[in-house]
Homo-oligomer: A and B are copies of this chain.
Amino acid sequence: MAEAFTIHSIGVIHNTDDEVRIEIYPPYTAGLLGLAQFSHIYVLYWLHLNDTPEARGILQVQPRKNPANPLTGVFATHSPRRPNPIALSRCRIREVTLDGILVDQIDALDGSPVIDIKSFFPHDDKGPVKVPDWQ
């Protein structure tokens, strides 16, 4: 039933006070061709500090670590504790360079392994969006 797959880091996030730079490793930089035509990207990165059996076994949390928030399934949150510690951030591109991407900001720890970059297209679905009160 459950299957295992292998992923490899394709880069690393440098998140400092001065800049946010998504370094792409040399074997993968050819994948950046044409990215500068977009304003935004999705960054998928590995929550490396939560890649432990304990953190990966947690299925319910109080969102934003706020004890006032109701116990909530991790799939209803963006908690770093989840079965597969993959994070997803949408970022505005500042500049695409030969070896990576400068972005406005990202909610990622310095040194987080990057596992994929995807261009962002506006969503077609214009219907109403609903979220819970705890946000």
Which of A's residues lie within 8 Å of B, judged by CB? 1-10, 24-25, 27-28, 30-35, 37-42, 44, 46, 51, 59-60, 70-78, 82-84, 86, 88, 90, 92, 113, 115-123, 125, 127-132, 135
- Besides A3-B113, A31-B76, A35-B76, 7 other CB < 8 A contacts? A2-B8, A39-B129, A44-B44, A44-B84, A75-B116, A92-B127, A120-B129
Copies in the complex: 2
- Complex CA gap A8/B1 in Å reads 10
Chosen A-B contacts, 30 in total, with CB atoms closer than 8 Å, are A1-B25, A2-B8, A3-B8, A4-B7, A4-B8, A8-B83, A10-B83, A31-B73, A31-B74, A32-B75, A33-B71, A34-B73, A35-B73, A37-B131, A37-B132, A38-B130, A40-B125, A40-B130, A41-B75, A44-B88, A75-B118, A76-B119, A82-B116, A83-B116, A84-B116, A86-B115, A88-B118, A92-B125, A119-B131, A122-B129
